[in-house]
Amino acid sequence: MQLIHVSEPEHNILLNMKKAASILHHKPDIVMFENPPSFLSDLNNFEPGNKPEAIIKEWLDLTLRSADRYPWLKTEVKVIKAIMRLWESGNQVLLFEIDGPFDLTGLEIGEDGIMNRVWNFLRAICMKNNIQKIEETYPKSKAIIFLHNLHWKNILFLREKPAKGAIFQYFFREYRDPQQVEILISNEVLLKYWKKESGF
């Protein structure tokens, strides 16, 4: 699969203009979003000219409502409109949300400290696995992926299939071992996914 990552040093309103332009320029077969799984992939079951208006409206409405919490989503509508233009032209564009489950991604985590590091590590594992599944299903497709650069860097590292020790050093080099990190995880959801996904 040809993966095209649109550089995103930080989430902001202006970057969505660039995202929309990249969709119209590359005309991808697939667009991957840094979102937890929801209903978007339901649109993949329909031909370009037959996408249900109700699902598209729900997507637009949810995006605008979410902008109260994530202000950069105010212009995400332009990304949606770009995808709709390709559909209207007869181009099938499949949509996938590749982030971790909502109970993980929706946690209120501070910007620093071990909890944030564990959170980003677990999300990177989920996203790497989800991308891999899409690649295996659509190996000859061209895909645009919208991810914060930090996540993309972490995913690229994991895609190299490093050993467990190298993974621990990459994400948690200041700590002695996985057991020390696990003891410091005070959030039950993080701990659940640590035990399920970390591989340590």
Using CA atoms in the order 145, 60, 37, 144, what is the torsion angle rounded to 10 degrees? -10
Mean pLDDT computed over every residue of the chain: 93
Tell me the C-alpha to C-alpha distance, in Å, between residue 193 and each of 12, 105, 160, 175: 29, 11, 22, 19
Domain ranges for the chain, please list them.
2-197
In whole angstroms, what is the distance from residue 40 CA to residue 30 CA? 12
Radius of gyration of the chain (CA): 18
Amino acid at 122: L
- pTM for this entry: 0.92
pLDDT tens digits, one per residue of 6-40:
988 877 777 888 999 999 999 999 999 998 988 99
pLDDT tens digits, one per residue of 108-135:
888 889 999 999 999 999 999 999 999 9
What would the two tokens of residue 159 be? 């895609």
Tracing tokens 């989920």 back to the chain, one arrives at: 126
